[in-house]
Every structure is written in structure tokens, then in C-alpha cells.
Amino acid sequence: MKETRLGEFEEVILLIVGILGDDAYALRVADEFETQTNRAVSIGAVHSSLNRLSEKGFLTSAMGQSSPERGGRRKRIYTITASGRSVLDDARSLRLSLYNQYPGFMVEFVGS
């Protein structure tokens, strides 16, 4: 059975794929990751992660269009699957529940 948990990096990548929609290919995801998080990342690292997420069944992919600056080569577009969505859902509710239980934040919530 495949590993189905989600790492922090994977979670962010998965979300970015969701945000980018039809434009989600490795280079674009890497660029978006850098702008969103201000962390440098190589295309290879992102590609490897996308590959792993596909193996886990959270993403599917298909070859998309090409452009002249790619030398006429096509890109691989990734899309979130249903199980990808549900794993994101789980991750978010886990986070929220944890945040809600942390007194340091609870006071703030109560106060505001």
C-alpha cells in the first residue's frame, strides 16, 4: 500500500497546483512557490514532488500545449484528483482543530 500522508512541502505544492488550475506544470508551480513563499526551489525538486503526489494518487497529469520558447516541446499539466482534494480537506481540518486547541491563539479568538 502506498504512503498516503502529506508532507508540508507536498501540501503547499498540492495547493499551488489547485490555485494554478490549467496552468499547473512543473516550472510554473516552482515559480509560483517562490513568489508565494519567498523560498528558492529548483524545478527538479518540484517535479520530484509532483511525481510523488501522482504516485500517491493525489494528482493526475496529461501532456498539454507547447510554446515557441520551449522549443516546441509540450508541458505536463497536473490536476488535483478527488482523493487529492479530500486529503487537503483532512489536512486543513486537522490544522484548524489543532489551532483551536492552542490556548495562545484561543484567547485571541475569544477576545476578538
Partner 1 sequence: MSKQQPNPPKLAKWLLNWFLKKELAEEVTGDLDEKYHHTLNENSTIKAKLNYWYQVFNYLRPFALKHNRSNSNYFIMYQHNFKLTYRNLLKYKSSFIINVIGLSTGLACALLIFLWVSDEISIDKFHKKDQHLYQVLLNHDESGILRTGTESPGIMAEALQQEIPEITMSVEDTPAEWFDENFSISDGKNFIKAKGKFSGKDYFKLFSFPFKHGDPSQSLTDKSSIVITESLALKLFGTTENLLGKMVDYHLLHIKKQAQITGVIKDLPLNSTIQFDFVLPFEVFKDIIGKGMHWGNYNAVTFVEVANGTNISALNNKLGNFIKEKLEGSNVTPFVSKFSDNYLYGNYENGIQSGGRITYVKLFSLIGLFVLAIACINFMNLTTARASRRLKEIGVKKALGAQRSSLVVQFLSESVLVTVFSLLVAFGMVWTVLPQFNEITGKFLSLQFNTNLVVGTLSLAIVTGLLAGSYPALYLSGFKPIHILKGKLNASFGDVWIRKGLVIFQFSLSIIMIVCVLVVYQQIEYIQSKNLGYDKENILSIPMEGQAVENTEAFMAELKNVPGVINASCTSHTMVKNGSYTTGVSWPGKNPDVEIRFEQAAVYYGLIETLGIQVLQGRSFSKDYASENTKIMLNEAAINVMGLEDPIGKTVNLWGADMEVIGVVKNFNYASLHNKVEPMLFRMNDKFFPHGFIKISANNIPTTIQNIENFYKKFNPEYALEYTFLDQNFQAQYIAEARVSVLSRYFASIAIIISCLGLFGLAAFTAERRQKEIGVRKILGAGHLKIIALLSNDFTKMVLSAILIALPIGYYISSNWLGTFVYHIQLRWWFFALSGLLALIIAWLTISFQTIRAANINPVKCLKED
- Pick between residue 25 and residue 33 the one whose CB is nearest to partner 1: 25
- Pick between residue 4 and residue 66 the one whose CB is nearest to partner 1: 66
Give per-residue burial for 21-54: e unless 16+ CB within 10 Å, then b: eeebbbebbbebbeeeeeeebeeeebbebbebbb
Distance CA 87, CA 105 (A): 25
- Pick between residue 19 and residue 27 the one whose CB is nearest to partner 1: 27
Q: Please give the residue ranges that form the binding site for partner 1 (CB under 8 A).
A: 25-27, 42-45, 47-48, 51-52, 63, 66-71, 73-76
User: Smallest distance, Å, CB 35 to partner 1?
Assistant: 13
